[in-house]
Each structure stands twice: as structure tokens, then as C-alpha cells.
Amino acid sequence: MEQLYEKVTAMNKDYYSMRGKIVTAERRIKVLDEYLSMWEKYERNKGIRRQFDKMKPGKKKEQFEQKHSAELALYAAAVRYLEKLKTAGEKVTPKKWQAEADRLKAEKSVQYQKMKSMREDIKAVENLKKTAEQLARTENEPARKKDIKTMPPQSGAGRTPTKRKRNRLPGTGITA
């Protein structure tokens, strides 16, 4: 019986360890997806920013700025974000980010499938443990019945408890 308890404990430990790995991978994937999103915004709006920078000051430049204000704002936000990454020591390597995100997603998928099978195994072992506990209880029960028969009666034995009448407070439905 002790081995069964140890097995269930070990299986649960492995299960939660696997879950921790999946959560860690999910967090990293989220970060990488954000990096890639900002890189994509940078690349998509870079041409518009170059056009804007090439224009000479004047009415056309102002009109261009008004027409493309959303794209210019997205570009500026992406530049700030990527610059912040650089100052934090992170290299701007979108191909590596994409490769790492793809690898982590594949690993997460495999780990999730393992975790699902582990969950089924744990349920089976816990059912086995529960059945073993019930069997152990039923084996011990005849011995307990013998002990109960040989015990002297306690005071008050044989009396049936009387029901106490509950008083209701008028109009409230509350019993006192």
C-alpha cells in the first residue's frame, strides 16, 4: 500500500513538473510573439516613414502625415519598443525569434500530449489506490464488528434522540 502512495505522489510530481514546463514555454512564446508583432509593424510601416522623411517641409508633407498618421504612429511605437529591447541587451533577431517560437510551440504540443496521457494514468492509479483502500477497510471491518459486540453498552444507549421543536419568528421565516 505504501508503494502505491509513493507511486501516486511521484506521478503527481512529474505531472506538475510537466505543467510548469508548459507554462514557462507559454510565457516565452507570448514574449516572442510580442517581439515579432513589433518587428512586423516596423517592417510594414518602414516604407511610409521613409517616404515621409524624404518629403520636403510644406503642405504636401503635412497632408501625407495626416493621411498616414496611424502608420507613422505604429512605426514610431515599434522603433521605441525595439530600441528598448536593444538597450536591455536583447538582440533584434526576428528569424531567431520565429525559430524559437516555432520550436517552443512544437515542444509545448508534445508536452501537452504527454501531460494528457499522464493525467489518464494518474486517474487509473488513483482509482486503484481507492479500491485498495476500500478493500483494506472491508478486511478490517469484521474485526471491528467483533470489537463492537464485545464492548459494554454505554450510558444512554438505546435511547432515541427527540426532535427539538424550532420556534419561528413571526413574519420573518427565521427559526430561533
Q: State the residue range of the domain holding 109.
A: 1-138
Q: How many domains does the chain have?
A: 1
Hey, which residues does 175 pair with through a beta bridge? 168
- Classify burial at 107, counting beta carbons within 10 Å of its beta carbon; exposed 0-12, middle 13-18, buried 19 or more: middle
Q: How far apart are CA 169 and CA 176, in angstroms?
A: 7
Q: How far apart are CA 123 and CA 27, in angstroms?
A: 28
Q: Is residue 11 part of a domain?
A: yes
Are the beta carbons of 60 and 66 closer than 8 angstroms?
no
Instruction: Determine the 3-state secondary structure of 168 from DSSP.
Output: strand
Q: Is residue 131 part of a domain?
A: yes
Q: Is residue 75 part of a domain?
A: yes
Q: How far apart are CA 69 and CA 72, in angstroms?
A: 5
Q: Is residue 41 part of a domain?
A: yes
Q: Is residue 168 part of a domain?
A: no
Q: Is residue 4 part of a domain?
A: yes
Q: Is residue 93 part of a domain?
A: yes
Q: Is residue 125 part of a domain?
A: yes
Q: What is the full per-residue pLDDT of the chain (176 aa) written as tens digits?
A: 788 888 889 999 999 999 999 999 999 999 999 999 999 999 999 999 999 999 999 999 999 999 999 999 999 999 999 999 999 998 999 999 999 999 999 999 999 999 999 999 999 988 988 898 898 888 877 655 655 556 666 655 555 555 555 666 666 656 65
